[in-house]
């Protein structure tokens, strides 16, 4: 048993080294990672680079001014500098997206694996519930939940979590069921049922890769959904410079001052693109077939 | 199991799922939300409230309410739509054809653009065209729907006229009402393009299409990326298969091998994904219709959100979910019919 | 003198993989006569399947033919353009593959696949102008061929999908399609390996009778020496991308020359002799980093100094071809007896 353990570790290290090599030679992935790191930087340090009170600095004399050397992205209808608002907004979008995905993954994988492990009637009932959740188009269900919970950014995140966890539950359940099959075959030869500890020792390595790819690309997807919900007015207040709500506020002024909606939306696009590039690249790197 | 037995089994499951959907929305709308909100405003006399409650049955125990809720659903009595200023059922009936026309056109665009792009990417694997389409797809799935809609609207209905002097597309609405009167247009099915073609009214059909094209492209864009990637990977997978080698070994011409032997296999997963994409369209319709003031259910729901009309929002969610489930059932049946290996 | 239908001269094929360049074929030469069943034997990785694919020019995209000639009916196939090669495929050369489960398109009925093959390749059918007459001719031909391969209920089977047929039925189908075009050469790559033993015998018998009837040349690629014994007139044994022994089946089986062939014969359970079944120790060499000298020398019980250094010459002894220093007079003469 000891020998196989260290040999496995050796193999894993070699795999990781090879993966890293592929990673650094893939231009798209590198570009994506650069973008993601840039956004993380903005999210964390934005409040130090720009005055946090910017959303409250109303200046009607300067309203709806086009981009200039003074206001890089122009000003909005309240006279606020859009460039600065965007920098502050990074924290909101990044925080919401990562939070939603992290919690969804946590809840989904735990519930999914429990359900698969327990099997039987419990698993059946659980899958019916998941099926019903899947019957709703995602965005609409989040919308409905938010109508109940109330319109705030936190409730937006909550609503998205309630929609998104089901996908991971299904994914994890599939992985656990597949492993359960294999282990029962082995158990048939030896004695006793496989303990849940061995179950997880074998599942986690296999499930990790597709989960990682899914989660990374989902951060981009959640960001789009969150911005979309904000756009319809379900999220932040006018003083929270989340990018989706910035676009929402800019929509009425489209023909007069298109920069209001353009730049925040562009930021959403680039952030989502960054995560998708990384996730897509990861998928190519981690695909065992493509490696050969 | 034969095909019709499979259909019946799936229909039974569908009813089960729909019951779950109605139960969930019932809980959302009656238990967790205050159902009185649609019928009561600040001006209502507080003494009237118990009477209103009794009238609508809100004072009964929940399981009884659920029964009446289901009965109402069947008799199509869904209550009142605050923002629609009419019965919910009428509101849905009036506004739904627009959304239907829009989503159907969006799916058609997605498939007509996405599938050929995917095939080309697969055939020119790892060459310039492939890399280009890959980046295009990635951008496609990263674009916020609402931003794309606004940008397209700005460019094609305004900028193209002021900067280049070219004719612009209409920015809002479904059709030009003045044109409708002038050309004697009459609504038959509620699908403007269809109705105009039936009446031989080509001008009207053109006008309706001009109004449809921008929102449809907006909705289609995200999905084009998905379909292209899927077609590409599916095609590559199929072209690796042994039966393709076999076909080649019999000297079958390249075009036959790709477009008949490979494509039919490759399109099977595309069919099932298309059903799933439909859900995204129904969600994205809310944003797109509000941007283009396209009078469909999405536009109605948007206003319902702004004015806190949960009834209408939930009505849209229920209707959309039912349609989504039915569409996916149809997709599954088509899938089973296409792939003879499927054991049902 | 019988005439040759195929002559392969010094064929060399390499595969470019992430691990390096795999030298799959290192100078393969043989010829097949008209109407002959030629056996190509070897373990997995010996290069026998690659040879079959190379002849049809159906190698995967990462394969490169780096040398040699493939003379088919007087033409060098390697010089042909793809469209010209495609005209040969099907009309003059067809193939039967190993796993009938993966080699038939799952979404088309059997008759649809068969029909396309006939429409593209059959000259007789191509000359018919009337559409309805074509349809009739095609259907007739399909039923006729299915009956010839002893397919039960041919009309019903033709309308079925591949997954509805058993392995044996699918293989009969492949034979029907392959022979229906009356090709000059059929390349059969492990045609019976995936079948049950009882079905194997039936399908082999079928193949033999069809081959005799249509006087088709067949290259039978397999690792199963028993199958070759039953069906082939001549055999070529491959190892690490080379043919190390070639000759008439009777003489090779009775008196194998090359140590590898001897090992193979010893590994065969024989009904006529009471020999212990022995396996050959060691494993196949790494085709990316081939050791110098004879590729078999690490496993050879008779290995000499020279075997480690130089590759054996291709020697012709009594109608046999063998590549082994043991039979090289220049070498053995140089040694003291």
For the segment B266-284, what is each residue's pLDDT rounded down to a tens digit?
Answer: 988 898 898 888 888 988 8
User: Chain C contact for B42, CB < 8 A?
Assistant: no
Beta-carbon contacts below 8 Å between A and C = 3
> How far A175 CA sits from the closest chain C CA (Å)?
26
Predicted local distance difference test score (pLDDT) of residue B40: 66
Closest CB to A268 among B144, B282, B302: B144
C-chain residues near A291 (CB < 8 A): 18
What is the average per-residue pLDDT within B322-342?
82
Residue with structure tokens 């490979």? Answer: B262
A-chain residues near C18 (CB < 8 A): 291-292
What is the average per-residue pLDDT within B198-227?
87
pLDDT at C25 over 60: yes
Cα nearest neighbour of C20 on chain A:
A292
What is the average per-residue pLDDT within C110-124?
86
Predicted local distance difference test score (pLDDT) of residue A288: 58
Beta-carbon contacts below 8 Å between A and B = 144
B-chain residues near C87 (CB < 8 A): 251
pLDDT at A292 over 50: no
Residue C336's pLDDT band (boundaries 50, 70, 90)?
A: very low
Predicted local distance difference test score (pLDDT) of residue C123: 79
A-chain residues near B314 (CB < 8 A): 144, 147
- B neighbours by CB contacts (3+ pairs under 8 Å): A, C
8 A C-beta contact, residue C151 and residue C176: yes
Provide the percentage of residues in chain A whose pLDDT is more than 70. 84
What is the average per-residue pLDDT within B150-155?
90
**Which 3 state secondary structure label does DSSP give B92?**
helix
Mean pLDDT for chain C overall: 84
8 A C-beta contact, residue C277 and residue C266: yes
A-chain residues near B324 (CB < 8 A): 135-137
- Put simply, the answer to whether A135 touches B21 (Cβ < 8 Å) is yes
* Cα distance between residue B333 and residue B171, in whole Å: 39
C-chain residues near B338 (CB < 8 A): 107
- Which residue of B251, B253, B259 to mutate against C (max C Cβ within 10 Å)? B251
> How far B167 CA sits from the closest chain A CA (Å)?
17
What is the average per-residue pLDDT within A88-114?
90
* Cα distance between residue B284 and residue B288, in whole Å: 6
The bridge status of strand C63-72 relative to strand C75-76 is antiparallel
Residue A99's pLDDT band (boundaries 50, 70, 90)?
A: very high
Predicted local distance difference test score (pLDDT) of residue C260: 86
Instruction: Enter the pTM of the model.
Output: 0.81
- C neighbours by CB contacts (3+ pairs under 8 Å): A, B
**What was the ipTM of the complex prediction?**
0.84
> How far B110 CA sits from the closest chain A CA (Å)?
18
Beta-carbon contacts below 8 Å between B and C = 73
Cα nearest neighbour of A144 on chain B:
B314
8 A C-beta contact, residue C28 and residue C243: yes
8 A C-beta contact, residue A235 and residue A151: yes
pLDDT at C335 over 60: no
* Cα distance between residue B269 and residue B226, in whole Å: 12
Predicted local distance difference test score (pLDDT) of residue B106: 94
Closest CB to B313 among A143, A231, A269: A143
- Put simply, the answer to whether C117 touches B339 (Cβ < 8 Å) is no
* Cα distance between residue B18 and residue B11, in whole Å: 10
What is the average per-residue pLDDT within A111-131?
83
User: Chain C contact for B338, CB < 8 A?
Assistant: yes
Q: What angle do CA B289, B292, B297 make, to 5 degrees?
A: 20
Least reliable range by pLDDT among A51-65, A197-211, B108-122, C316-330: A197-211
> How far A226 CA sits from the closest chain C CA (Å)?
42
What is the average per-residue pLDDT within C262-284?
71
Predicted local distance difference test score (pLDDT) of residue A290: 46
* Cα distance between residue B247 and residue C103, in whole Å: 9
Predicted local distance difference test score (pLDDT) of residue B203: 82
User: Chain C contact for B237, CB < 8 A?
Assistant: no
Predicted local distance difference test score (pLDDT) of residue C337: 41
pLDDT in tens, C218-228: 999 998 888 88
Phi, psi values for residue C43, rounded to 5° = -80, 180
Predicted local distance difference test score (pLDDT) of residue B115: 93
> How far B29 CA sits from the closest chain A CA (Å)?
8
C-chain residues near A292 (CB < 8 A): 17-18
Cα nearest neighbour of B336 on chain C:
C107
More confident residue, B48 or A267: A267
Residue A2's pLDDT band (boundaries 50, 70, 90)?
A: very low
* Cα distance between residue A261 and residue C255, in whole Å: 87
* Cα distance between residue C95 and residue C216, in whole Å: 12
> How far C60 CA sits from the closest chain B CA (Å)?
9
- Put simply, the answer to whether A140 touches B321 (Cβ < 8 Å) is yes
**Which 3 state secondary structure label does DSSP give B187?**
coil
- Put simply, the answer to whether B265 touches C95 (Cβ < 8 Å) is no
Closest CB to C116 among B256, B265, B338: B256
pLDDT at C333 over 50: yes
- Put simply, the answer to whether B21 touches A265 (Cβ < 8 Å) is no
Give Cα B237 distance to the centre of its chain.
29
Predicted local distance difference test score (pLDDT) of residue A213: 83
> How far A283 CA sits from the closest chain B CA (Å)?
13
Least reliable range by pLDDT among A23-27, A248-252, B233-237, C68-72: A23-27
Residue C12, C-beta contacts closer than 8 angstroms, at least 6 positions apart: C23, C25, C26, C27, C28, C65, C66, C67, C68
- Put simply, the answer to whether C87 touches B246 (Cβ < 8 Å) is no
What is the average per-residue pLDDT within C63-67?
89
More confident residue, B187 or A256: A256
Residues of C with CB under 8 A from a CB of B: 56, 58, 86-91, 94-95, 97, 99, 102-108, 113, 116-117, 120-121, 161, 163, 177, 181
- Put simply, the answer to whether C102 touches B253 (Cβ < 8 Å) is no
Predicted local distance difference test score (pLDDT) of residue B336: 79
pLDDT at B13 over 90: no
What is the average per-residue pLDDT within C111-136?
83
> How far C18 CA sits from the closest chain A CA (Å)?
6
8 A C-beta contact, residue C29 and residue C9: yes
Give the burial string for B96-120 (b: 16+ CB within 10 Å, else e).
Answer: bbbbbbbbbbbbebbbebbbebbbb
The bridge status of strand C185-189 relative to strand C93-96 is parallel
pLDDT in tens, B60-72: 777 777 887 777 7
Predicted local distance difference test score (pLDDT) of residue A136: 84
> How far B162 CA sits from the closest chain A CA (Å)?
11
> How far C279 CA sits from the closest chain B CA (Å)?
32
- Put simply, the answer to whether A137 touches B321 (Cβ < 8 Å) is yes
pLDDT at B286 over 60: yes
- What chain C holds in terms of domains, given with CATH numbers, is 4-92+183-336 (3.40.50.300), 98-182 (no CATH)
What angle, 0 to 180 degrees and rounded to 10, lies between the N-to-C axes of helices B263-291 and B88-123? 140
Q: Round the CA-based radius of gyration of chain B to a whole number and report it.
A: 24
Tokens representing residue B282 in the block: 């129904």
Q: What angle do CA B275, B120, B276 make, to 5 degrees?
A: 10
* Cα distance between residue B69 and residue A3, in whole Å: 65
What is the average per-residue pLDDT within C157-172?
87
* Cα distance between residue A41 and residue A29, in whole Å: 18
User: Chain B contact for A127, CB < 8 A?
Assistant: no
| Helix residue ranges per DSSP H, chain B | 3-26, 49-56, 62-74, 88-123, 128-142, 145-154, 160-162, 177-182, 192-198, 202-239, 242-249, 254-256, 263-291, 297-306, 310-338
B-chain residues near A145 (CB < 8 A): 28
* Cα distance between residue B120 and residue B94, in whole Å: 42
- Put simply, the answer to whether B28 touches A144 (Cβ < 8 Å) is yes
CA distances from B23 to A138, A167, B326, B328, C141 (A): 17, 21, 18, 20, 61
């Amino acid at each position: 048993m000891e020998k196989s353990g260290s040999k496995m570790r050796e193999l894993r290290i070699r795999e990781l080294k090879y993966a890293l090599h592929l990673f650094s030679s893939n231009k798209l992935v590198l570009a994506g990672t650069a973008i993601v790191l840039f956004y993380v930087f903005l999210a964390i340090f934005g409040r130090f680079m720009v005055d946090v009170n910017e959303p409250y600095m109303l200046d009607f004399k300067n309203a709806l001014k086009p981009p200039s050397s003074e206001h890089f992205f122009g000003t909005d209808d309240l006279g606020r500098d859009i460039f600065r608002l965007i920098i502050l907004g990074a924290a909101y979008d990044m925080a919401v997206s990562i939070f939603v995905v992290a919690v969804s993954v946590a809840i989904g994988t735990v519930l999914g694996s429990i359900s698969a492990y327990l099997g039987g009637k419990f698993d059946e009932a659980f899958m019916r519930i998941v099926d019903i959740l899947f019957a709703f188009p995602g965005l609409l269900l989040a919308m409905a939940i938010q109508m109940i919970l109330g319109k705030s950014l936190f409730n937006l995140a909550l609503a998205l979590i309630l929609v998104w966890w089901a996908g991971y539950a299904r994914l994890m359940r599939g992985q656990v069921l597949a492993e359960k099959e294999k282990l029962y075959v082995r158990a048939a030869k030896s004695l006793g049922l496989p303990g849940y500890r061995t179950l997880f020792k074998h599942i986690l390595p296999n499930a990790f890769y597709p989960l990682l790819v899914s989660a990374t690309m989902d951060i981009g997807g959640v960001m789009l959904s969150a911005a979309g919900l904000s756009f319809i007015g379900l999220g932040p207040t006018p003083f929270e410079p989340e990018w989706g709500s910035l676009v929402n506020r800019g929509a009425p002024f489209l023909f007069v001052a298109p920069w209001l909606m353009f730049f925040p939306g562009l930021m959403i696009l680039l952030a989502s693109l960054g995560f998708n590039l990384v996730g897509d690249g990861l998928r190519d790197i981690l695909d065992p077939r493509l490696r050969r | 199991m034969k095909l019709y037995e499979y259909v019946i089994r799936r229909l039974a499951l569908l009813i089960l799922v729909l019951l779950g959907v109605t139960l969930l929305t019932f809980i959302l709308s009656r238990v967790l939300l205050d159902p009185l909100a649609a019928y009561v405003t600040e001006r209502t006399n507080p003494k009237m409230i118990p009477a209103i409650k009794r009238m609508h049955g809100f004072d009964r125990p929940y399981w009884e309410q659920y029964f009446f809720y289901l009965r109402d659903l069947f008799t199509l009595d869904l209550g009142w739509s605050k923002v629609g200023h009419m019965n919910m059922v009428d509101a849905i009936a009036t506004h739904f054809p627009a959304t239907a026309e829009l989503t159907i056109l969006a799916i058609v665009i997605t498939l007509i653009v996405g599938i050929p792009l995917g095939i080309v990417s697969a055939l020119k694997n790892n060459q310039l065209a492939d890399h280009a389409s890959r980046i295009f797809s990635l951008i496609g799935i990263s674009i916020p729907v609402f931003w794309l809609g606004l940008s397209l609207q700005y460019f094609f209905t305004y900028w193209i006229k002021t900067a280049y002097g070219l004719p612009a597309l209409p920015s809002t609405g479904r059709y030009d009402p003045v044109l409708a009167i002038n050309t004697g247009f009459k609504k038959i099915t509620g699908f403007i393009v269809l109705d105009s073609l039936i009446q031989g009214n080509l001008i009207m059909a053109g006008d309706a299409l001009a109004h449809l094209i921008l929102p449809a492209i907006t909705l289609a864009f995200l999905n084009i990326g998905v379909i292209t990637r899927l077609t590409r990977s599916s095609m590559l997978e199929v072209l690796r298969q042994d039966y393709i080698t076999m076909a080649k070994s019999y000297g079958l011409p390249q075009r036959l091998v790709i477009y008949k032997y490979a494509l039919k296999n490759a399109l099977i997963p595309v069919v099932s994904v298309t059903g799933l994409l439909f859900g995204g369209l129904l969600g994205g319709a809310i944003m797109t219709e509000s941007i283009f003031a396209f009078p469909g259910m999405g536009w109605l729901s948007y206003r319902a959100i702004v004015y806190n009309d949960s009834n209408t929002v939930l009505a849209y969610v229920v209707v959309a979910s039912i349609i989504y489930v039915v569409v996916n059932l149809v997709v599954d049946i088509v899938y089973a019919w296409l792939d003879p290996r499927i054991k049902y | 003198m019988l005439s040759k239908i195929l002559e392969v001269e010094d064929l060399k094929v390499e595969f470019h993989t992430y691990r390096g360049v795999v030298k799959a074929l290192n100078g393969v030469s043989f010829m097949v006569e008209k109407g002959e069943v030629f056996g190509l034997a070897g373990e997995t990785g010996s290069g026998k399947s690659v040879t079959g694919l190379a002849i049809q020019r159906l190698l995967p995209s990462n394969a490169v033919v780096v040398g040699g000639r493939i003379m088919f009916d007087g033409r060098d196939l390697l010089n042909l353009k793809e469209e010209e090669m495609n005209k040969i495929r099907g009309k003059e050369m067809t193939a039967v593959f190993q796993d009938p489960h993966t080699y038939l398109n799952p979404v088309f009925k059997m008759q649809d696949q068969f029909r396309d093959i006939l429409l593209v390749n059959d000259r007789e059918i191509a000359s018919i102008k009337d559409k309805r007459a074509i349809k009739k001719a095609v259907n007739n031909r399909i039923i006729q061929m299915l009956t010839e391969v002893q397919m039960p209920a041919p009309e019903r089977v033709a309308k079925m999908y591949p997954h509805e047929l058993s392995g044996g039925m699918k293989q009969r189908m492949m034979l029907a399609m392959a022979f229906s075009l009356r090709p000059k050469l059929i390349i059969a790559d492990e045609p019976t390996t995936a079948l049950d033993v009882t079905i194997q015998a039936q399908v082999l018998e079928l193949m033999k009778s069809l081959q005799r009837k249509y006087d088709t040349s067949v290259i039978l690629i397999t690792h199963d020496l028993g199958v070759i014994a039953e069906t082939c007139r001549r055999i070529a044994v491959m190892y690490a991308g080379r043919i190390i022994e070639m000759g008439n089946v009777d003489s090779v089986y009775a008196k194998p020359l090359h140590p590898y062939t001897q090992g193979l014969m010893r590994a065969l359970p024989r009904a006529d002799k009471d020999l212990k079944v022995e396996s050959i120790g060691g494993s196949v060499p790494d085709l990316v980093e081939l050791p110098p000298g004879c590729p078999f020398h690490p496993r050879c019980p008779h290995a000499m100094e020279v075997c480690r250094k130089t590759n054996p010459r291709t020697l012709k002894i009594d109608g046999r071809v063998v590549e082994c220093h043991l039979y090289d007079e220049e070498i053995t003469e140089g040694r003291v007896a």
